[in-house]
């Protein structure tokens, strides 16, 4: 069991790169993307506002549509493949997962059930916030927040 919660969050400005790749290629893409964005932030003299994130627009493991980047304290201009963006604020269901990335499936299942039990509907996207990384800790100590934007079922049906 992993701790889950519901939180209201404000808009979060981001710098990110969107790409498509099979799941087995994610580590190399993430390494390049996070490095490029960190380098760009360094040239701007700006910090990032938290851990790295990945937004999953689909769950086709052979052709994932992903946006990877960092939240930033204020809107910043993009450059080249690095795009300025925004994670819209709202209501989110969050699961605090600790463990290897390739064993995250049960935590997603738990988060889905948690949201349903709270009378919430998942909006379709999934975010992962990486609170530490494989270069910092062993796989069993990796901390990842799994995040679903959610709405109250009654609100969704009224739309």
Token pair for residue 43?
Answer: 């040239």
Candidate CATH numbers 3.40.50.1360, 3.40.50.920, 1.10.8.420, 3.20.80.10; the one for domain 4-158:
3.20.80.10
Q: Which residues of 2-23 are buried (b: 16+ CB within 10 A; e: fewer)?
A: bebeeeeeeebbbbbbebeeee
User: Reduced to 3 states, what is the DSSP secondary structure of residue 74?
Assistant: coil
User: Taking a C-beta distance cutoff of 8 angstroms, is the pair 100, 142 a contact?
Assistant: yes
d(CA 68, CA 18): 6
pLDDT of residue 158: 47
Spell out the domain ranges in the chain. 4-158
Helix ranges, the chain (H)? 26-44, 105-117, 153-158
pLDDT of residue 68: 98
For residue 133, the tally of other CB atoms under 10 A from its CB is 15
Q: Per-residue confidence of the chain (159 residues) as pLDDT tens digits?
A: 899 999 999 999 999 999 999 999 999 999 999 999 999 999 999 988 888 999 999 989 999 999 999 999 999 999 999 999 999 999 999 999 999 999 999 999 999 999 999 999 998 789 999 999 888 999 999 999 999 999 988 654 544
């Amino acid at each position: 069991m992993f701790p889950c919660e519901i939180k209201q969050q404000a808009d979060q400005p981001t710098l990110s790169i969107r790409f498509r790749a099979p799941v087995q290629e994610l580590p190399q893409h993430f390494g390049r993307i996070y490095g490029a964005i960190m380098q760009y932030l360094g040239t701007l003299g700006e910090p990032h506002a938290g851990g790295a994130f990945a937004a999953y627009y689909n769950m086709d493991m052979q052709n994932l549509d992903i946006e990877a980047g960092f939240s930033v304290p204020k809107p910043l201009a993009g450059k080249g493949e690095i795009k300025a963006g925004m994670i819209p604020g709202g209501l989110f269901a969050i699961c605090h997962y600790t463990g290897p990335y390739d064993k995250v499936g049960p935590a997603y299942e738990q988060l889905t059930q948690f949201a349903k039990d709270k009378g919430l509907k998942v909006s379709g996207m999934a975010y992962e916030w990486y609170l530490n990384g494989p270069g910092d800790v062993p796989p069993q100590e990796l901390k990842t927040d799994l995040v679903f934007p959610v709405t109250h079922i009654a609100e969704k049906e009224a739309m």
